[in-house]
Amino acid sequence: MSDRIFGAVGLLLAAFYIWAASIIPDSFMIDVIGPRTFPYIVGAIVAICSLVFILRPDAEPAWPGMQAFAEILFAAAALMLYAWVLPEIGFVISTVFATAYLTWRLGSPPLGSVITGVLTSGGIYLVFHTILGLSLARGPFGF
Amino acid sequence: MEILNALGDGFAIALTLENLLLAFIGCFLGTLMGALPGLGPANGVAILIPIAFSLGLGPTPSLILLTSVYYGAMYGGRISSILLNIPGDEPAMMTCIDGYPMARQGRAGEALTLSGIASFVGSLFATIGLVMLAPQLVKIALLFGPAEYFVLFTLAFATLGGISSTNQAKSAFAAALGLAIAMIGSDSQTGSERFTFGHIHLYDGIDFLVAIVGLFALSEVFIFLEHHRGGSAARGGTMTIGRLLPSWATIRSCIPTMTRGTGIGFIAGVLPGAGASLGSFLAYSMEKLAVDRDGKTFGKGDPRGVAAPESGNNAAAGGALVPMLALGVPGSGTTAVLLAVLLSLNITPGPLLFTRNPDIVWGLIAALFIANFMLLALNIPMVGLFTRVLLVPTRILMPVVAMISFVGIYGITSSTFDVMLMVGFGLLGWALRKLDVPMVPIILGILLGNEMEVNLRRALQISDGDWSILFGSPLAIVLWIIAITGFVLPIVMGRRLKKRIEANRPPEETAEGD
């Protein structure tokens, strides 16, 4: 079933892609096949493969339960949030939180997670910024 | 003679203090990444690329650092295979079969030393093979026109699923997805905006480093989260190493094994779509056929069963560099990532690389020879150091890996949008891995998509729109035949081979790509 759903999503994607290719504007420079032909071919391959998934699906993969699934979504959300606040509050503070969250979810006790977060953040700052001179996101406090 | 001169110049470049230091750091980090399950060569190199750039390293130093990581990971993978029966990376899978039984018999040290020597032999001769073969391949490649190049790219995608692929439709889907992503941004030929929908972030296209780090490194973090696997790899395992030096008789009995393994591995590496995992698998299977037909000692701790796959996978790693450097078409996951290094340094790989940037090619090759000796030193006397690393729990390791990926990507793009996109690619990678869609063709599609389209368009420009130019030369027809065979053959016999490889795979999941 998963493969059939995947195939259906693939078909929608291919249809969208081919439509988006068809509205590519022409430019004043022209060549023989133009900017749309190759995307059409690629879209067609996506569509053909998706049809194969629908007609001949593989065995069902081992999907995680709701809990593990939520775990992944929350982690992704946390990392998105991390990316978003990075330029606002600076590298060191945001990294403490992001690392602490991940290591907590992977099974560290809360206090251990905070310590891991502080050490990781500080360690990366020391190695990459202080020693190697990489520019990291600067917050209002300059780090 | 010409080659020796060029190699001599290469050594002059590689033997500077900076480059030696980078090679050493690369070897050390590579062995570390290889040893840790969950961090393979492909994602290890992927994480380090943006960091090498943000540090402002030049082309040759960056390549020396990153290929040393690549070679190092091939050495390091065996450590946890032998000690814990968990392959540190995919190519080290076959080493578990005889390596772990040897460790159970208290001969872990011997197995580690022997496999270290086998790795050294495999890499050393494969690097020599690279020196001999690559310039010859370049001569052929110089005959390629745009049409032949287009067919060559098609061949790379068709065979990338490899003969061990279970579902060719999924490999093809992955390749097309990569190509589709590559089309986003301004068209290089006419300047038309494609698939940008007016978003300014998309005008330059999607940075392939963002996609690579997301698909390889972050998706790995999600896999670990899904399974709540936070303990250390070494939990409860026996980690005693014992005597390091095997007897001379043992080493001598393995010499023919290493020779065969190196040969098979190198060929597997050069061929498109094979890579190091297949190299070690073939080397092990052939060795078993050659010396232990009835299965009396193999699988029960035969030293030859350790030497064969290790010489095979290291030789394949060297062999895989041949098509990557000479043709610009990688045959495996990690070489695809190394291609990304070249592309982001604005160096066009392929035959012209040898004439235009001989310093890069030969400096790199010389560095590989040097790295090999460093790796031998790191992996035999100092192997105890790396076994300690296996005690680090993944609940600390994986977040650190994730954060370093963020540092790298943010370092080169300074863009929140790109970092979020990377998280998106991580989720996509997780879902696609669940559905058994391979990652490597996606990466290769993103990397080669524009080049492939440009060649198609140039070919049709030359023929004035006549598509038969794609079949217009004997060379092109040969390439088509290989491509079609490479795509159809796995459908006929792939399932069987894959099943045999899977049967040997220990239950733990390992990092994708080799």
* Residue B151 CA neighbour count, 13 Å, CB half: 25
Asked whether residue A51 falls in the same domain as residue A78, the answer is: no
Asked whether residue A72 falls in the same domain as residue A125, the answer is: yes
Asked whether residue A121 falls in the same domain as residue A102, the answer is: yes
Asked whether residue A33 falls in the same domain as residue A75, the answer is: no
pLDDT score for B425: 95
CA of B414: which chain A residue's CA is closest?
A137
pLDDT score for A108: 86
Tell me which H or E stretch contains B193: strand B193-194
Please give the average per-residue pLDDT across A64-75, as a whole number: 89
Q: How far apart are the first and last CA of chain A?
A: 49
Interchain CB contact of B502 with A (< 8 Å): no
Burial B147-180 (b: 16+ CB within 10 A, else e): bbbbbbbbbbbbbbbbbbbbbbbbbbbbbbbbbb
Give the angle subtended at the CA of B159 by the CAs of B89 and B306, to the nearest 5°: 30
pLDDT score for B92: 85
Asked if residue A141 belongs to a domain, the reply is no
Asked if residue A45 belongs to a domain, the reply is yes
Distance in angstroms (rounded) separating the CA atoms of residues A57 and B215: 24
pLDDT score for B498: 63
- Region at B408 (left for phi over 0; alpha for psi -120 to 50; beta for the rest): alpha
Asked if residue A120 belongs to a domain, the reply is yes
Checking A13-20 for CB contacts under 8 A at 24+ apart, the result is A13/A46, A13/A50, A14/A43, A14/A44, A14/A46, A14/A47, A14/A50, A15/A47, A17/A42, A17/A43, A17/A46, A17/B180, A17/B195, A18/A43, A18/A44, A18/A47, A20/B195, A20/B197
pLDDT score for B508: 47
Q: Largest Cα–Cα distance of chain B, in whole Å? A: 70
Domain boundaries, chain B: 2-141+149-233+246-504
Residues 234-293 of B with CB under 8 A from A: none
Strand partners, B193: B186
Asked whether residue A46 falls in the same domain as residue A101, the answer is: no
Distance in angstroms (rounded) separating the CA atoms of residues B70 and B336: 12
| Total domains present in chain A | 2
Contact, B360 vs B63, CB < 8 A? Answer: yes
Q: A134: which chain B residues are within 8 Å (Cβ-Cβ)? A: 51, 54-55, 407, 411
Residue A73 belongs to what domain range? 66-131
Q: Which two tokens stand for residue B98?
A: 């005889």
Asked whether residue A46 falls in the same domain as residue A98, the answer is: no
Residue showing tokens 């729109």 = B465
pLDDT score for B214: 92
Burial of B507 (0-12, 13-18, 19+ CB in 10 A): exposed
Q: Do A38 and B457 touch (CB under 8 A)?
A: yes
Asked if residue A11 belongs to a domain, the reply is yes
- ipTM for the complex? 0.93
Nearest to A45 among B176, B398, B411 (CB): B176
Distance in angstroms (rounded) separating the CA atoms of residues A78 and A72: 10
Asked whether residue A44 falls in the same domain as residue A24, the answer is: yes
Distance in angstroms (rounded) separating the CA atoms of residues B1 and B114: 34
Question: Read out DSSP for B380-438?
Answer: TTTHHHHHHHTTSBHHHHHHHHHHHHHHHHHHHH--HHHHHHHHHHHHHHHHHHHTT--
pLDDT score for A141: 76
Q: Do B191 and A134 touch (CB under 8 A)?
A: no
Residues, chain B, total?
A: 514
Interchain CB contact of A105 with B (< 8 Å): yes
Residues 432-451 of B with CB under 8 A from A: 434-436
Query: Which residues, other chains included, contact A59 with Cβ-Cβ below 8 Å and sequence gap of 6+?
Result: none
Q: Do A42 and B464 touch (CB under 8 A)?
A: no
Contact, B157 vs B449, CB < 8 A? Answer: no
CA of A87: which chain B residue's CA is closest?
B416
Q: Which two tokens stand for residue B409?
A: 């990507």
Closest CA to B32 of B514, B370, B386: B386
Q: Which residue has the higher pLDDT, B166 or A89?
A: A89
Asked if residue A139 belongs to a domain, the reply is no
**Over the stretch A15-67, which tens digit does the pLDDT of each residue have?**
999 999 988 888 777 778 888 899 999 999 999 999 999 998 888 888 888 88
pLDDT band at A1 (very low <50, low <70, confident <90, very high): confident
pLDDT score for B162: 61
**Over the stretch A114-135, which tens digit does the pLDDT of each residue have?**
999 999 999 999 988 888 888 8
Interchain CB contact of A27 with B (< 8 Å): yes
Distance in angstroms (rounded) separating the CA atoms of residues A28 and A9: 35
From first to last of its 514 residues, chain B has per-residue pLDDT tens of 688 888 898 899 888 999 999 999 999 999 998 888 778 888 888 888 888 888 888 888 998 999 999 999 888 888 888 888 888 777 888 888 899 899 888 888 889 999 999 999 999 999 999 999 998 999 888 888 999 999 999 988 888 766 556 688 898 999 999 999 999 988 877 878 888 887 888 888 888 889 999 998 899 889 888 887 767 766 555 567 777 788 888 888 889 999 999 999 999 888 876 677 888 888 988 888 888 887 788 888 888 999 999 999 999 989 999 988 898 888 778 888 888 888 888 888 888 888 888 888 898 899 999 999 999 988 888 888 888 888 888 888 889 989 999 998 888 888 889 999 999 999 999 999 888 888 888 988 999 898 899 999 999 999 888 898 899 889 999 999 988 988 888 777 756 666 666 666 554 445 555 6
Q: Do A27 and B169 touch (CB under 8 A)?
A: no
Strand partners, B232: B393
Q: Do A42 and B180 touch (CB under 8 A)?
A: yes
Residues 386-425 of B with CB under 8 A from A: 394-396, 398-400, 402-404, 406-407, 410-411, 414, 416, 419-420, 422-423
Q: Do A106 and B398 touch (CB under 8 A)?
A: yes
Q: B453: which chain A residues are within 8 Å (Cβ-Cβ)? A: 38
Q: Is the pLDDT score of A72 beyond 70?
A: yes
Asked whether residue A100 falls in the same domain as residue A44, the answer is: no
Chain Cα centroid distance, residue B71: 9
Chain Cα centroid distance, residue A66: 20
| Gap from A18 CA to chain B (nearest CA, Å) | 10
Contact, A36 vs A22, CB < 8 A? Answer: yes
Q: Do B403 and A108 touch (CB under 8 A)?
A: no
Distance in angstroms (rounded) separating the CA atoms of residues B336 and B174: 14
